[in-house]
Structure 1
Amino acid sequence: MTALSPDTHAHLGWRPAKGFGFARGTALVPIAVAELPRVAQAMPVAFAKAEGQWQALGVMGPISGSNVYVSRAGNWRASYVPALLRVYPFHLEGTETLALWSSYAPEPLVGDEVQPFYKEADLAPWLQETHRFLRTVHDGIAQLHGPLEALAAVGALSPWAGPALEVPQPDRALSGLYRLEAERLAGCADGLALELFRAGHLRWLYAHLDSLHHAERFKALAKDIVAPPLESPRQPDKVDRAADVLAAIAQDLGDTEL
């Protein structure tokens, strides 16, 4: 990440993304508890530890560096865009500092459609809103650690590798991913089960379980991107027609509850 600062970026700016090509090489994205059920309707959701903290991750490809939800034209091919991808090119460094994706190059403000980072030494109003949104998202990501740590402690999480690939690439395999074992959840102590129920965690835990079947479509989605069939141009399907709408959504933070 490249942290924003008025000393470095006061006379620079950014352009809104025209599509989702920037995420083509991103296979995993952290997701907040509030959006997990919606993410689970579109893609597998798995769990992993990062710097000692459990997270939920949207799994967007079968191997590292691949994202089957971004078309060759950069359109989004699912019904929901994870929150952290909706605010490209911005991210949080740590828990407070607004930063840019490492691959993004700021531009001089003289360019067409270039939006300023700063206004009179303060973040521009839209970026202040982006900053608040990202803090909300990161708070929602952090809320998943406690219940997942408790489930891991009783052996209710097990490794998950997704579907086998026809052409394995061990050096690009996704690793460190876990899934919930429903039988072990059902057999956990009454105290933990009641705690999970009262805290509202069962909704997203079962959404996670329901999401894993999406990985079965990875091969077909990837094949359509890498080796599209040789045929006459087809009429746009529902996913293609929705791409423009989703691109517009990406420019709108939506409500702060995700």
Structure 2
Amino acid sequence: MADDEPKIPKFIKRKGYNMKILNPKYYVPYMKISSALHGYDMYSPPHKSNESSLTEEKAKENFDFFVISKNNRVRIFRKWIEDNFYINLDYSAASIEKLSDWMAIYAPIIVRVRKDFFISYYTYNPEWNGKFIGCNLIFDIGLYIGEYLIKKRSFLHWDMYRYNNVIGDMNKSQFYNKPFIAGSFYEIGNVIFCPFWECSNALGSELIFSNVKINKSDTLRAFVSQAIYMADIPARAQMQITEDVKDGPLE
């Protein structure tokens, strides 16, 4: 398993396990989001495989599809969350706060069926419909975060991920050739997968079980704050983060 691959708890790995135990506090949110996701627009790139395993030509075709699709997908997502949850994502700092609060409630139940969830999100196979329809929503949340960062720092832009500072052989990274935010001297992270991490962490947590309190998460707000901080570090500067920036400015 690659170092940056999410750690899947043993109970998720059990064959056939689909986490039927649900905290009663999630009953209403689960019914609400399940209803809201019905008919949600599916993201379907031309090549259904992890881009790291595709040829450069096919990976570029997937990326071109992403670029063509992203503005419409963000528009659909913003309308969806406003129509169903009355949240106006207007690219203000307050919108990140609202989205982070929303994720604290709904992240664990966006995709309730756990078997093949990680595989589906990375490879688009199984396709993102039916029980995996929530993958589209996770992806679109990442799109909104990326567009938010670009609006706040105009030198940032979408590109294909071509390097990895952690793994020596970049072809072993599941992020290779996937969309990410470029333009910063220091890597600010793969925003498409930021909400995925939040969701996957929630899947493996004890939050879903009935005898545990629900603790509010602030992962998305912290990610955006740190991404903006990293983007502002000038080229060739000696990077020394001497303070906790997770509560820093969002603009």
Scaled by the length of structure 2, what TM-score is found?
0.27
Normalising by structure 1, we get a TM-score of 0.26
Q: Which has the higher strand share?
A: 1
Q: Which structure has the bigger radius of gyration?
A: 1
Q: Which has the higher contact order (CA 8 A, sep 6+)?
A: 1
